[in-house]
With several copies, the nearest count.
Chain A
C-alpha cells in the first residue's frame, strides 16, 4: 500500500470515529490504529485501547476482559474484517464452502460473534474489494450484520471501509449505502467489484483526504506514536520511503 492510499484510508476511518469516547483497536491494524490515534490527538476526551503490545498493557483480568469491557458498554468503537463480507453486513471468518465440510479454512471467528453485537460502532475494514470478498451471501456467518428485533443488540456495523470506497450501513434496510468513492473509482467500478447489491447515497462524491493540519499531525506526532506498535508500517509510510505493504 502506498502512502497516499494509507493516508486516505486513515482519513476515512478517522472520520467514522468522530464522537467516540473509547476506541479499541486490534493488532495487525495499523490503519485503524493510526486513525484512532489521530482522533485522540484532536479530542482529549477520546481514550484508545490498542491491543497487541505488551508495553502499556491496559488490561489485567486475562483474555475475557476485552469482552467483558465491551459488554459493560465501555467500548464505543471497534474494527472487524472478514474473509467474506456480504450485503447484509454478515462476516465470515471461518472458511469457504458448505460448513462443516469447508474447502478453505480461515483462522476462525475470534470474538466477532460477541463484539459485533455489543460494540455500538463496529467499523468493517477490508482493503481487498473484489467480488470474492464482497459476496452476495457469506458461506458461514461468523457474526450477522443484523439480528431479529427481540435479540439484545446494542452494537453492529456502522460502516465498511475498503480499498475502493466507503459504505455506510443502514440497519433498518439491512443494506450498505455507498457514501464516497476513492480517487480513481466510480459508482460503476465499485459495483463491478462488489458481489452484493447496495444503495447509493444521493450525494456520492470522492473520498476526501485529510485536512492539511490533520495530515501534518499524522505525519508528525501520530507517525511516532504508531511506530511504538507498528515500527515497520510507520517506517514504510512516514519514514520518507513509501513502500508497498
Chain B
C-alpha cells in the first residue's frame, strides 16, 4: 500500500478540516429599506420573534403595523413582550406560540390577555425549553427532539402535536415515557442587533437563541443599529458572537430600532415608556391612542 492510497482521503479531510476554519466567499449584501425587509412576512407566515431582552426589532414591528398585513402566526423564542403585544393589539396576529408574554417587570400584557380571553387569539401554550428544543430539531435536520419534563402538565395535554413515546434505551421491562416534540421551522425569524457588516454577518453576542432561530428559520431578516465596514468575523476575539451571513437573508439599518425595549449594552429598556404603555393599554382606547403616537413618531426614543 503506497503513500498515495494512504492519502486518498484528501477530500474527506475537509469535514473537520485542518486548522478547523472555513473561508467564506460571501455574497455582498446591500442593506434594504424596512419595507423591503419585511416583504417576506405575509399572511400566514410563521414568524419567530425573540424575547424582550434579546434584541427585538420594534422598528420592523412598526413597519409591519403600518403595512397592515395580518394573519401572522407568531412564535416567541421562547417568550415575548411588547412586540407580540403590539402585533396582537393591532390585529395582525392570529396565533401565538409562547412560554409567556409579559411586559418585563410590569407583568401581564393587557392586549395579549384580552385577545386570549376573548378567543380572538389562538394561543399555543408551551414551555421555554420545549421551544428551544423544537427549533434545535430543525437546526439539526431531524423531525423531532425528545425532552424530559412536560408529561402530565396541562401544557403537554393541550398539545396534540406532541407525542409521548417510550425511551427505546430504557432497561428491558421498564417503562420510561418521554415527550417527542415535532421540529419547528419558522418561515421568517426577525430580530434587532447592534451591527452587521457588508457581507451580512450580524453581531449577536451571547444571545445564541437568535442563532438557533436563524439556523431553524427559512429566512432570517435583521434590523441593526449600524452597518460597519470590514468583516465581523475577522477578529477571533469577537467572532464568537457573530451570526454568519449564510443564515441572513436581508439587513436593514434602524437606529434605536429596539426602542422602547433595550439592546445589549447599547441602551437599556425605557422603563418609563413601558409603564406608560402598560397603563394606556389597560383599555382598547388607550392602546389605540398609544399606538397612534408610536406610529406617527410622537412616541419615540428620546
Give residues in A with beta carbon < 8 Å to B.
22, 24-29, 32, 37, 40, 44-45, 47-64, 66-74, 78-83, 93-96, 99-118, 125-126, 128, 132-133, 140-144, 147-148, 150-152, 225, 228-229
Contacts and interface: CB of A to CB of B under 8 A. Distances in A.
Contacts of A103: 117
Interface in B62-95: 77-79
A108 B100 contact: yes
Given A26-B12, A73-B141, A81-B10, 11 more contacts: A26-B14, A26-B17, A28-B11, A28-B17, A47-B26, A48-B24, A52-B19, A54-B21, A68-B215, A108-B79, A113-B150
Contacts of A100: 123, 158
Interface stretch (B237-245, B253-261, B277-285, B286-294): B237-245
Interface of B: 1, 4-6, 8-27, 51, 54, 77-79, 98-102, 105, 107-109, 112-113, 116-117, 119, 123, 125-130, 132-133, 136, 138-142, 147-158, 174-178, 206-212, 215-216, 231, 233-234, 236, 239-247, 265
A72 B101 CA distance: 27
Given A51-B17, A110-B13, A113-B155, A63 B128 contact: yes
B156 to A, nearest CB: 7
A79 B14 contact: yes
Contacts of A105: 108, 112-113, 116-117
A28 B105 contact: yes
Nearest to A225: B25
Contacts of A52: 13-14, 17-19, 21-23
Contact of A57 (B12, B14, B233): B233
B242 A60 contact: yes
Contacts of B231: 56
B77 A58 contact: no
30 contacts: A28-B13, A50-B24, A51-B21, A52-B23, A55-B21, A56-B22, A56-B23, A57-B206, A57-B233, A57-B239, A61-B211, A64-B128, A71-B141, A72-B139, A80-B12, A81-B12, A93-B100, A102-B117, A108-B100, A109-B100, A110-B9, A110-B13, A113-B150, A114-B129, A133-B8, A141-B154, A144-B152, A144-B153, A148-B151, A151-B152
B206 A45 contact: no
B79 A96 contact: no
A239 B21 CA distance: 25
A81 B15 CA distance: 11
Question: Interface SS of chain A: helix, strand, loop or mixed?
Answer: loop
Contacts of B136: 64
Contacts of B147: 114
A111 B210 contact: no
Contacts of A141: 152-155, 157
A72 B141 contact: yes
B99 A96 contact: no
B194 to A, nearest CB: 14
A109 B76 CA distance: 13
B11 A64 contact: no
B99 A110 contact: yes
Contacts of A70: 141
A228 B245 CA distance: 21
B8 to A, nearest CB: 5
A40 B239 CA distance: 25
A85 to B, nearest CB: 9
A44 B30 CA distance: 14
Contacts of B215: 61, 68-69, 72
